[in-house]
Amino acid sequence: MTAPTIDLFASALLFHSDGDVRAVERRMTGSGSGAWQIAAFHVETDADVHADHWEMHPRAEEAVCCLTGGVRLYFRPDVPGGAEEMVRLRAGAAVIVPRGRWHRLELDAPSDLMSITLRDGTRLERRTGTR
């Protein structure tokens, strides 16, 4: 049997608790499948990483990995009027976003990113006061 190759920049891998792994269309929100999603993204602009939106995963942490280039990951303040926290990722670095923590990305340079999370219940919310 010859196993087909999968383009991770075009598809995502879903890892199910029963051990099945499936290549599927990438989604920003969950499918309710209970599967963990691994996806890679080539991003050129802030629009490619929805920098004008906050994102939150209520059911699991997320590993955000910078494979090439560089990005800034921002955490929304816990209190109104508080300052955003920023983590800078260079090629080969990753950060774990805590479960339920609102976050967003901005680019330092065109980059290749990988995210690993359980997307079920993922929420997007437009960022107010954007530049």
Residue 131 has pLDDT above 60, yes or no: no
Q: What is the pLDDT of residue 129?
A: 66
Listed by start position, the domains of the chain span 11-126
Which two structure tokens, joined as six digits, stand for 64?
């955000």
Q: Which residue has the higher pLDDT, 86 or 130?
A: 86
Indicate the fold that domain 11-126 takes in CATH: Jelly Rolls (2.60.120)
Mean pLDDT of all residues belonging to the chain: 92
Which two structure tokens, joined as six digits, stand for 127?
């960022």
Q: What is the pLDDT of residue 3?
A: 87
What mean pLDDT do residues 97-110 have? Answer: 97
Per-residue pLDDT tens for 41-58?
999 999 999 999 999 999
Query: What burial class does residue 123 get, using C-beta atoms within 10 Å of its C-beta: 0-12 exposed, 13-18 middle, 19+ buried?
Result: middle
Residue 2 has pLDDT above 70, yes or no: yes
If pLDDT is split at 50, 70 and 90, which confidence band does 26 have?
Answer: confident
Nearest C-alpha neighbor of 56 from the set 100, 87, 115, 119:
100
